[in-house]
Structure 1
Amino acid sequence: MINVGIIGAAGYIGGELLRLLLPHPRAEVTKVYSASQQGRRVDSVHPNLRGHTPLTFTDPADLDSHDVVFIAVAHGKAAEYVTSLGPDAPCVIDLTADFRLRDPVAYQRYYGDAQPAADLTADFTPGLPERYRDQLRTADRISVPGCMATAATLALGPLAAAGIVRPDVLIDAKIGSSGSGSSATTTNLHAERSGAMRVFAPHSHRHEAEVAQETGLRVRMAATGVEAVRGAQVLCHCTTEPGVGEQDLRRAYRAAYQDEPFVRIVAQRRGLYRLPEPKILIGSNYCDVGFSLDPDSDRLVAIGALDNLVKGGAGNAVQCLNIRMDWPERTGLEFVGLHPI
């Protein structure tokens, strides 16, 4: 049994980490930290955890030693904790953007500030098991990618690796309101969000840099906030190389994901859920990927869908933990989603 601490446990991602880790058979959450909620009971902030934990939030300034520390704070803040933790945290799993991008110039372009502790980025292994499983087995510093970046990378990665799509890709991403975090702002008030399909990033969404870094493609990404609370879906508009057909696409996906526990290929010709749909993934650690190829042209749409707080965040982090500790990869992540919902 390992000793786990969570910094930033009062946010939505922090709440999902608690939901997944409190019943985890091989991890014990011993302390949770929040600068804004210190002294309050966890279940006063995360009411779904009533009866499951007596923990209260502690000031991060009073950080104890833990076998594993998860960091789920605002972008730009994680580096401060990583720098100060040292040997008090043999393993750190960061869910912020601070160590995702290997190019500090790209970081400054997309986040508007110099990359904090950029010299430490090389110490971090990307927290995407489908691409970095072997490295994660021995990683002491792990950086979990963004939710829409995960969906797009898993949808595009096999096609790029097989060389069957041309390098220019346009990603149209949609995400529920929880993607904005738990901080109350005018933008996220129910009166402003309800019924809206708000284009909050018509171009140059931050996650495009992550997708480009992982796939080697020239990526452009737009993002729209939709009325759902949870869920992210990406439509990746591509052009196939000459002669590429549906069987080539299926072959590439199967080669990449046939043994993956949390990626499913969903590309059917009929049925209500014939392509990846976030609704049936809520609460689960699955990412569904699929495609639609125009039979009369070389136009392809590759699609990825996931729960932005689970496979797009906390679930991916727990999957990385399981790999790092050499535990069965599905441990604590068996929930398969609901239908209907």
Structure 2
Amino acid sequence: MIKAGIIGGSGYAAGELIRILINHPDVELKWVHSRTVAGQRIVDVHQGLHGEIDMTFSSTYDLKGLDVLFCCRPAGKTREFLAENDVPEDLRIIDLSRDYRISDPSHDFVYGLSELNRKPMVRGARHVANPGCLAMAVELSLIPLAKNLLLNSDIHTTVITGATSEGAESRPTNHYAWRNDNMVVYRPFRHTQEPEIIQTLSAMQQSFRSQLNMVPVRGAFSRGIMAVTYLECPLELAQIIKIYQDYYDDHNFTFITSKIPDLKDVVNTNKCIIHLDKIDGKLLITAVIDNLLKGAAGNAVHTMNLLFGLQETTGLTMKSVAF
């Protein structure tokens, strides 16, 4: 059994991670650490777990004896944690913050986009940086084009996100009275996840110099992300669809559909569903994911499966809400 621990266990992504790990056939969840709710029962913080887990949040942690550590703390806190602690050399670390998503010589974290970096994760990587949820949706929309050197015009994408994308901490923009029946643009062209998207596309297509114009929108729903992207592409639609089908053919969680997807096609799953269309010479790409699963906890478990040589879908067979 893989012995797992979670740092920063009170947030939405950590809650989903707990739900997956306690039902994963090859994982034993040893402890869940939290500074804010230490001593409280997990079932009193994360709903829907009654009868499935009888643990309390821990105020202490012991990294010895663990096989994998999931870091679910806010931006900047994983670097701080690793600097302050004696981390066993063979401990696998999966970071869900943005601390290590940008490659640089100061760290050895592999960017955890499984549809791009599966090989290094299978071949001995120890540290993985989980992609941001908005970045995940946009990257999966575009990497087949990048692989085929087809990102040669400006890219325009509108990304609509659910309230849980902003985390469990109370703030005005995730309060029901504000969020319900409301939408608003935020951080246009300056979102914090844009650098990792550009890094990913540039790694796939070294000639990539196009402008990424991303407009994030806060949506009036709890979970899910819809990324609607358009750009110029000279190929016929049938050729583009084949490029996407070929790219994702041996990947277990990304699918090309002939019908424009709904958010509810993917909410509560680790799937990404992509639809392609060609209108007046422009390629229109619609991608949907669950921000807490494919965009966070589900992908983290997917990468754990890769790090430990498990079948990729283990513990990740889930039912979409559908309606």
TM above 0.5, one fold? yes
Q: What is aligned with 1:97?
A: 98
Report the residue type matching 1:326 in the other structure: G
Report the residue type matching 1:191 in the other structure: A
With 222-231 and 87-96 compared, the bigger mean Cα shift is at 87-96
Q: What is aligned with 1:145?
A: 131
Q: What is aligned with 1:309?
A: 292
Q: What is aligned with 1:56?
A: 56
With 24-33 and 46-55 compared, the bigger mean Cα shift is at 46-55
Q: What is aligned with 2:205?
A: none
Q: What is aligned with 1:33?
A: 33
> Which of residues 191, 195, 205 is equivalent to 2:191?
205
Q: Give the conservation status (yes or no) of the 8 Å contact 2:38–2:56.
A: yes
> Per-residue deviation at 1:220?
2.2
Q: Give the conservation status (yes or no) of the 8 Å contact 2:103–2:109.
A: no
TM-score between the two structures when normalised by the length of structure 2: 0.93
Distance in 1, matches of 2:240 and 2:305, equals 30
Q: Give the conservation status (yes or no) of the 8 Å contact 1:125–1:143.
A: yes
Distance in 2, matches of 1:47 and 1:246, equals 44
Aligned residues: 313
Which structure 2 residues correspond to residues 7-156 of structure 1 after superposition, within 5 A?
A: 7-60=7-60, 62-65=61-64, 66-83=66-83, 84-87=85-88, 90-102=91-103, 119-120=106-107, 123-137=108-122, 138-156=124-142
| Alignment partner of 1:188 is 2:181 | no
Q: What is aligned with 1:111?
A: none
Report the residue type matching 2:110 in the other structure: T
Distance in 1, matches of 2:226 and 2:173, equals 21
| 1:145-173 per-position Cα deviation (integer Å, ceiling 9, x unaligned) | 00111111111000121123424212110
> Per-residue deviation at 1:233?
0.9
Identity %: 31
| Alignment partner of 1:287 is 2:284 | no
Q: Give the conservation status (yes or no) of the 8 Å contact 2:75–2:98.
A: yes
What is the SS of the residue equivalent to 1:265?
strand
Q: Give the conservation status (yes or no) of the 8 Å contact 1:208–1:220.
A: no
Greater helix share, 1 or 2? 1
What is the SS of the residue equivalent to 1:312?
coil
Distance in 2, matches of 1:161 and 1:303, equals 19
Q: Give the conservation status (yes or no) of the 8 Å contact 1:68–1:89.
A: no
> Per-residue deviation at 1:68?
0.4
Q: What is aligned with 1:222?
A: 215
Distance in 1, matches of 2:127 and 2:89, equals 13
What is the SS of the residue equivalent to 1:57?
coil
Structure 1: where are the runs of 5+ without partners? Answer: 104-117, 269-273
> Which of residues 241, 244, 261 is equivalent to 1:253?
244
Distance in 1, matches of 2:86 and 2:75, equals 17
Q: What is aligned with 2:5?
A: 5
4+ long deviations beyond 4 Å: none
What is the SS of the residue equivalent to 2:40?
coil
Q: Give the conservation status (yes or no) of the 8 Å contact 2:4–2:69.
A: yes
> Per-residue deviation at 1:275?
1.5
What is the SS of the residue equivalent to 1:310?
coil
> Per-residue deviation at 1:336?
3.3
What is the SS of the residue equivalent to 2:106?
helix
Distance in 2, matches of 1:142 and 1:236, equals 27
What is the SS of the residue equivalent to 1:48?
coil
Q: What is aligned with 2:161?
A: 175
Distance in 1, matches of 2:19 and 2:38, equals 19
Structure 2: where are the runs of 5+ without partners? Answer: 203-207
RMSD: 1.5
Distance in 2, matches of 1:160 and 1:176, equals 28
| 1:74-124 per-position Cα deviation (integer Å, ceiling 9, x unaligned) | 011111222324217610000000000126xxxxxxxxxxxxxx712xx00
> Per-residue deviation at 1:285?
0.4
Report the residue type matching 1:230 in the other structure: R
Q: What is aligned with 2:260?
A: 275
Report the residue type matching 1:132 in the other structure: N
Distance in 2, matches of 1:134 and 1:9, equals 29
Distance in 1, matches of 2:281 and 2:103, equals 33
